[in-house]
């Protein structure tokens, strides 16, 4: 899908660009509950939508209610979205499991903050496991897109709706407090440029001409329940063709940094600083965290290369990097937690130490 | 002997809004009758094509197997949130939720109160059998004082377990509640009254009046460990004095 954009840019906050993009993507319903650092999404929608569209925007009594309203409205065939931040997103997990099982397309947004518990309102990436490994109960996955700019906050709304509807599953934009709050130049996607097709499975009222539609996740017979699972797993295999990533100078790199979202911005800066010092450093930025771009990472793994994964957590994506590398290169991890953002200087020190350890210093 | 079927008079037919799937309910359980009455009204009003229902988690989790209308099966307690989602995007359709007492008055309390408080234009059907039927007879928020269940084996002690909650009276206080009534399905007369209440609720929904809420006080022969007849008798003697059938909130224009 190629998104059509406005010719001139706007200066906007990540959360607001996302909300504006949702209106332009002809979102039909939004249900949400306030939580920092993403409340601007609900605020922007409650202000703009009544003036511009017929969409439903409803502040629910909780994230539990929001996600179940998404279940209902999405099941009724509407293009639906909700957003939250880490503690609220945890509350949605049961509902997301039901939605994944019932194959209802919807767009979810988690503008992550530091945890565990009530944590902090500062940015973090501690929900990677929750987002990419299922998060709720049972065997399921959701599509996970990791934006690293305000531009991608807007674009991934279109991309997320498209993927969710094509694969009949939830798509998640996994951002963080910094991407949500920062202001940047953005070329907004053009209104109405995302096609919508009516779903024949939706519960819209049963005409005489068809059998009733019902939406459920309940299958009491084990063989039926297994076949539903096999179907989901088959879908997840097909989804792998949607893997997306960005590569910077990896071809000749001795050290490959792997990072997503905000930390990928830090890492491209580290790459520049290291290159100036004569170190051959490249960056892999996974854009889809699920499906994870394993193949490209596997293809880069050679014995004379070193991987360093950088995250704002205690080391979550690094597990997927290790699985992809499969022992062919050493894989290291560097992270900050609790709302701390790693500085380029910090990571550069780590890169220099690795270069020395592995004799990668070229003069 | 030869029988001539075509000479017989058709006195009763199953409404098209019920599927042919045999119901799994225990003999004598009120759920089956409540399903039938609800579907009969939808059939008689000719609104099948425009009706979407939401089933709960509880004994009636399979309602969508029996009700021949478009249906969704919601998570435990969340039926009214799912119904809100449906109604908000399809405001001209008829939407109902159908929930047990554990679903609506324990785990789903917040959703129940806020759905009614917003005055969602839906019909909420609430089956109160004073027990968790599906999971095998545990104490419900509506179990009577002193009632023995598998998790209150010495009887419900209100001092430590709370008093049986009158959810219907509670939500009737909210301005969003348009029509609130308590009914039952244990006698033909009760069934006729319930039918009228359901019909009135869908009429109100058409006019976008707010939430209509029908509690159906029902039995649970298996959970209460009684025969169907005993359970109906016990219900009249013990449930009705506390959960007394009758209208709780009727708007002037409906009287
Ligand atoms: C989140 C969650 N918690 C618990 C359960 C287990 N559970 C299933 S049905 C039920 C109680 C149902 O009782 P009620 O709502 O009164 O309906 P009834 O079966 O009596 O008709 C419970 C606790 C569940 N399915 N999901």
- Binned at pLDDT 50, 70 and 90, residue A280 comes out as very high
Q: What local confidence, expressed as pLDDT, does residue A1 receive?
A: 63
Judge whether B184 and B178 are in contact, CB under 8 Å.
Answer: no
Q: Are residues A223 and A128 in the same domain?
A: yes
A 38-67 near B (Cβ less than 8 A): 56, 58, 60-62, 64-65
Contact across the interface for B75 and A69, Cβ inside 8 Å = no
Closest CA to A89 of A141, A135, A148: A135
Judge whether A14 and A186 are in contact, CB under 8 Å.
Answer: no
Contact across the interface for A94 and B75, Cβ inside 8 Å = yes
Domains of chain B and CATH, by start: 31-254 (3.40.50.970)
Q: Are residues A176 and A262 in the same domain?
A: no
- Give the distance (Å) from ligand 1 centre to CA of residue B220: 14
pLDDT tens digit string along A56-90? 999 999 999 999 999 999 999 999 999 999 999 99
Domain contains A3 = no
Best B18, B24, B62, B86 residue to mutate vs chain A (most A CBs within 10 Å): B86
Q: What local confidence, expressed as pLDDT, does residue B9 receive?
A: 86
- Give the distance (Å) from ligand 1 centre to CA of residue B138: 10
Residue A200 structural domain: 10-241
Residue A213: its chain B contacts at CB < 8 A? 70-71
Q: Are residues A306 and A218 in the same domain?
A: no
Q: What local confidence, expressed as pLDDT, does residue A346 receive?
A: 96
Q: Are residues A189 and A272 in the same domain?
A: no
- Give the distance (Å) from ligand 1 centre to CA of residue A220: 15
Out of A241, A266, A292, a domain closes at A241
Q: Are residues A191 and A104 in the same domain?
A: yes
B2: left (phi over 0), alpha (psi -120 to 50) or beta: beta
Q: What is the C-alpha separation between A104 and A117, in angstroms, rounded? A: 29
Q: Is pLDDT above 70 for B162? A: yes
Q: Are residues A117 and A192 in the same domain?
A: yes
- Provide the CATH number for the domain around residue A351: 3.40.50.920
- Give chain A's domain count: 2
A291: cis peptide before it, omega within 30°? yes
With pLDDT > 90 as the criterion, what percentage of chain A qualifies? 97
The reply to whether ligand 1 has any atom less than 6 angstroms from the CB of B140 is yes
Domain contains A165 = yes
Q: What is the C-alpha separation between B239 and A17, in angstroms, rounded? A: 56
pLDDT tens digit string along B211-229? 999 999 999 999 999 999 9
């Amino acid at each position: 899908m190629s998104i059509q954009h406005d010719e001139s840019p706007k200066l906007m906050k990540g959360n607001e660009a996302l909300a504006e993009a949702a209106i332009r993507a002809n979102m039909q319903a939004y249900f949400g509950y306030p939580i920092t650092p993403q409340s601007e999404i609900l605020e922007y929608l409650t202000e703009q939508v009544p003036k511009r569209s017929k969409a439903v925007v409803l502040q629910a009594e909780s994230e539990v209610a929001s996600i179940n309203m998404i279940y209902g409205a999405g099941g009724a065939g509407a293009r639906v979205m909700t957003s939250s931040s880490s503690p609220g997103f945890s509350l949605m997990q049961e509902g997301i499991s039901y939605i994944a099982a019932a194959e209802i397309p919807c767009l979810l947004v988690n503008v992550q903050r530091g945890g565990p518990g009530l944590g902090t309102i500062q940015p973090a990436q501690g929900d990677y496991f929750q987002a990419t490994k299922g998060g709720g109960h049972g065997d399921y996955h959701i599509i996970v897109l990791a934006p690293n700019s305000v531009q991608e906050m807007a674009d991934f709304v279109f991309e997320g709706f498209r993927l969710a509807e094509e694969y009949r599953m939830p798509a998640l934009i996994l951002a963080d407090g910094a991407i949500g709050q920062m202001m940047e130049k953005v070329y907004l996607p053009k209104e109405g440029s995302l096609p919508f097709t009516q779903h024949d499975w939706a519960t819209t009222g049963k005409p005489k001409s068809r059998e009733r539609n019902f939406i459920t996740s309940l299958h009491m017979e084990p063989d039926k329940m297994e076949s539903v699972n096999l179907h989901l797993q088959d879908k997840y295999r097909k989804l792998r063709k949607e893997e997306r990533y960005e590569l910077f100078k990896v071809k000749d790199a001795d050290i490959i940094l792997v990072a997503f979202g905000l930390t990928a911005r830090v890492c491209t800066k580290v790459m520049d600083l290291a290159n100036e010092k004569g170190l051959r450093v490249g960056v892999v930025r996974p854009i889809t965290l699920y499906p994870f771009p394993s193949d490209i990472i596997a293809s880069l793994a050679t014995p004379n290369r070193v991987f360093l994964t950088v995250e704002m957590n205690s080391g979550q994506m690094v597990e997927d990097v290790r699985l992809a590398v499969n022992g062919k290169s050493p894989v290291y991890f560097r992270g900050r937690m609790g709302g701390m953002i790693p500085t380029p200087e910090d990571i550069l020190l780590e890169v220099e130490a690795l270069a020395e350890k592995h004799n990668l210093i070229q003069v | 002997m030869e029988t001539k079927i075509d000479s017989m008079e058709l006195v009763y037919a199953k409404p098209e809004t019920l599927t042919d799937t045999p119901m799994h309910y225990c003999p004598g359980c009120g759920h089956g009758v409540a399903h039938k009455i609800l579907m009969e009204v939808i059939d008689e009003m000719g609104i099948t094509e425009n009706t979407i229902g939401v089933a709960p988690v509880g004994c009636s989790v399979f309602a969508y197997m029996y009700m021949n209308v478009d249906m969704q099966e919601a998570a435990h307690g969340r039926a009214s949130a799912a119904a809100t989602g449906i109604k908000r995007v399809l405001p001209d359709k008829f939407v109902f939720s159908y929930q047990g007492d554990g679903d609506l008055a324990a785990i789903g309390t917040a959703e129940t109160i806020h759905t009614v408080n917003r005055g969602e234009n839906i019909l909420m059907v609430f089956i109160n059998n004073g027990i968790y039927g599906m999971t095998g007879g545990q104490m419900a928020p509506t179990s009577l004082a002193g009632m023995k269940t598998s998790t209150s084996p010495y009887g419900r002690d209100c001092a430590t377990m709370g008093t049986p909650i009158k959810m219907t009276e509670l939500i009737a206080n909210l301005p969003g509640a348009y029509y609130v009534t308590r009914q039952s399905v244990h006698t033909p007369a009760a069934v006729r009254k319930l039918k009228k209440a359901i019909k009135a609720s869908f009429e109100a929904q058409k006019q976008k009046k707010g939430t209509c809420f029908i509690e159906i006080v029902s039995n649970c022969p298996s959970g209460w460990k009684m025969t169907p007849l005993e359970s109906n008798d016990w219900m009249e003697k013990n449930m009705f004095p506390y959960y007394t059938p009758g209208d709780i909130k009727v708007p002037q224009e409906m009287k």
